Chains A and B, each alone.
Chain A
Amino acid sequence: MEKQEWILKELQKIYDTSDDYYLVTIAKATQDIIREQQKRIEQMEGEIDGTLWSPKRWGE
C-alpha cells in the first residue's frame, strides 16, 4: 500500500504543477483508476472474509 500511496502523491504533484492540461487530465484519470482498483480489492477481500466466516460454514 505504501507504493500505492506514493504514486498517488506523485500523480497529485503532476496535477498541481504541470502546465500541460492533457497531462494533468491523464494524471487525474490514473489516480481515479488506481483508487477504483484499491476499492475493488478491498471489496473482494471483504467478500472472501465474509464468505469464510459465514455461519453456513461453521459446521464444517
Chain B
Amino acid sequence: MKTLVIVSHPDILESSSQQFFLSSIKNRKDITIHHLESEYPDGNIDVKREQTLLREHDRIIFQFPFYWYSSPPLLKHWQDVVLEEGFAYGEGGNALKGKEFRLIIMIGVPEKEYQAGGSELFSINELTKPFQAMAHKTGMIYLKAMPIFQFGYMTPEEKMDHLITYWQMLTMENDDSLRNREEWLIEQLEYFIDQGLNKETSDILRFAIEIIQENRFELDNLQIVLDDIRRHS
C-alpha cells in the first residue's frame, strides 16, 4: 500500500508536532510526504501533477493544524482546484473511487472541550463533516481520523504511543484488531532488523517476533476451545 501524506501548514519549520511526526517517516519508501506550502509558495497549484500523485497512491492523508475548525487556506484551495469534475466526481470522475482517506489534525485545545458542554461545543466528528462529505462524493473510504490534542503537553511515553498510532494510521490495513496490530508490528520489527541494527538488538527483536507469534498461536487455540465449549453448553 502506498500512502500520500498531503500536509498543509504555513509555518511548518516552527511546528514541533509536525516535525516530530513527519521526520519519523521521511525515509519510508511506502510513504510520500507532500507539503503544499513548500511545493507551491505562490499558491499556484499544478493540478495535473497533484492528480497524478493521487492516482499513484492508495491511501490519502490530509495532515494539518486545526484553524478555525478547518484546514489552512492552501489545502482548501487545493481541494477547489484539484478535485475537479471529471476527475474526482461527475461524469467519468472516478479517479479516487475506492481509495482510503484519513484526517490527521493537530489541535491546541484539550479533547474534552470538543463536546456539548465543552468550550468548543461540537465534536471533531461534527466539525469535520465537510471532509467526510468530500470523501463520500469522491468515492473514497473515510477512515477514522487521528486528532492529536495538545502535543506540547504530552509526556514522553504519550508521544511514543502517538507516534506508533501515527505509523499505524499511515501504513496499517484498516483493521485495528489485536491480530492485525500484531501482524503490523511484526512487519515493523522486521523493517528495523533490516536497517542493520547490531546483532544483540536484532536477536532481541527476532525473539520478540517469535514470542508474539507463539502468543497468537495460543490465543487461536484458546478461541477454538472457547467456541467448542459454547457450542456444547
Contact = CB atoms under 8 A, between A and B. Distances in A.
Interface stretch (B31-39, B136-144, B214-222): B214-222
A39 to B, nearest CB: 10
Q: How large is the interface on A (under 10, 10 to 19, 20 to 34, 35 or more residues)?
A: 20 to 34
B44 interface: no
Interface stretch (B45-53, B70-78, B184-192): B184-192
B30 to A, nearest CB: 16
B218 A51 contact: no
Interface string A14-57: 10001000111110111011101110110011011001101011
Given A7-B207, A28-B157, A38 B215 contact: yes
A48 B226 contact: yes
Chain A interface main SS type? helix
Interface residues of B, number: 32
Given A26-B189, A40-B178, A51-B230, A34 B204 contact: no
Nearest to B27: A22
A51 B233 contact: yes
Contacts of A4: 211, 215
A33 to B, nearest CB: 5
A23 B207 CA distance: 15
B81 interface: no
Contact of B192 (A3, A23, A40, A45): A23
A34 B230 contact: no
A8 B208 CA distance: 9
Contacts of A56: 233
Interface of B: 24, 157, 160-161, 163-164, 178, 181-182, 185, 188-189, 192, 197, 201, 204-205, 207-208, 211-212, 215-216, 218-219, 222-223, 225-226, 229-230, 233
